[in-house]
């Protein structure tokens, strides 16, 4: 089954109004100029820029998402943002369970699953991030760690329409050390097989599994050509329009 490539930019805690909005506008122009693009494009700015990014991308093929969401719709959670608030601004996606949230905020698989459920309930597509640390890989635990995170973070109601998986080896994030095609394909194929068991062949065949971790214009084409890699979650290389666009041009 043909899965449409998703090129997703995770800006993390970068950019202010001036350069952030210029980047969205630049991408909107390029996507328009492309006509029938071979990929879906998503940007996930920091929360401060989500509203204006949604306005700048309105009516275009560039989607906007949050980098996280709370598991509750509303309430006494100072500093948090709910999935419903993201949807209200015009977002269509929310990243949940990024390794920086799992590390900085001690998020567990159970919490990530609850956040993904909240995203679904608010009408958003959840991008559920998983990935092993270098120590886990070196201890031969890569498959086990990713399987546990996948199955622990995946809501019962996950479908190919409301969920995207992102495999992001922690040792590759922001390091310039990218997974080899063999390393990426091994984990992606395992994840696909686990999705077959958990959700059935049809859902597993249709659900997108992104690779993330030092994806850049030089290595994107090789990674995006792998049979079970259905796009990228891109950090550093999503901060400049030329780089992000060049990654997207790596689509097979």
Q: Examine the residue annotation and report whether 136 is marked as an active-site residue of this protein.
A: no
- Distance between CA atoms of residues 173 and 184, nearest Å: 13
Q: Looking at beta carbons only, is 155 or 236 nearer to ligand PGA? A: 236
Based on CB atoms, which residue is closest to ligand PGA, 174 or 202? 174
**Residue 124, CB half-sphere, CA atoms under 13 Å: how many?**
36
- To ligand PGA, the closest distance from the beta carbon of 227 in angstroms equals 22
Q: Distance between CA atoms of 207 and 165, rounded to whole angstroms? A: 8
Residue 43, H or E segment: strand 39-44
To ligand PGA, the closest distance from the beta carbon of 153 in angstroms equals 16
Distance CA 23, CA 56 (A): 10
Nearest to 150 by CA among 206, 121, 189, 122: 189
168 among known catalytic residues: yes
- Report residue 62: phi and psi, to 5°: -90, 120
- Judged by beta carbon, residue 198 or residue 251, the one nearer ligand PGA is 251
Which residues are at the interface with ligand PGA (CB under 6 A)?
Answer: 10, 168, 173-174, 212-215, 233-237
Closest residue to ligand PGA: CB criterion: 235
User: Which residue in the list 100, 107, 168, 194 is annotated as catalytic?
Assistant: 168
Instruction: Calculate the dihedral angle through the C-alpha atoms of 180, 3, 142, 114, rounding to the nearest 10 degrees.
Output: 140
Q: In whole angstroms, how close is the CB of 214 to ligand PGA at the nearest point?
A: 4
Q: Which is nearer to ligand PGA, 8 or 31 (CB)?
A: 8
Interaxial angle between packed helices 241-248 and 17-34, expressed in degrees from 0 to 180 and rounded to the nearest 10: 30
Which helix (DSSP H) or strand (DSSP E) does residue 199 occupy?
A: helix 181-199
CB of 251 to ligand PGA, least distance (A): 17
Enumerate the active-site residues: 98, 168
């Amino acid at each position: 089954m043909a899965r449409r490539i998703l090129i997703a930019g995770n800006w993390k805690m970068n950019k202010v109004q001036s350069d952030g909005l210029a980047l969205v506008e630049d991408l909107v122009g390029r996507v328009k100029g492309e006509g029938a693009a071979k990929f879906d494009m998503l940007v996930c700015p920091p929360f401060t820029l989500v509203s204006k990014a949604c306005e700048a991308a309105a009516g275009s093929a560039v989607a906007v998402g949050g980098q996280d969401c709370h598991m509750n719709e509303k309430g006494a959670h100072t500093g948090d943002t709910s999935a419903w608030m993201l949807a209200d601004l015009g977002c269509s996606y929310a990243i949940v369970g990024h390794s920086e949230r799992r590390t900085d905020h001690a998020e567990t698989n159970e919490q990530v699953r609850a956040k993904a459920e909240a995203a679904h309930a608010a009408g958003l597509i959840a991008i559920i991030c998983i990935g092993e640390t270098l120590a886990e890989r070196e201890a031969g635990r890569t498959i086990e760690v990713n399987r546990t995170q996948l199955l622990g973070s995946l809501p019962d109601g996950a479908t190919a329409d409301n969920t995207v998986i992102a495999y992001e080896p922690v040792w590759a994030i922001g390091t310039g050390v990218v997974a080899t095609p063999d390393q990426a394909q091994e984990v992606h194929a395992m994840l696909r097989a686990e999705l077959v068991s958990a959700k059935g062949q049809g859902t597993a065949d249709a659900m997108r599994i992104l690779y993330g971790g030092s994806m850049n214009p030089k290595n994107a084409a090789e990674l995006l050509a792998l049979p079970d890699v259905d796009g990228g979650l891109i950090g550093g290389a999503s901060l400049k329009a030329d780089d992000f666009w060049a990654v997207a041009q790596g689509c097979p």
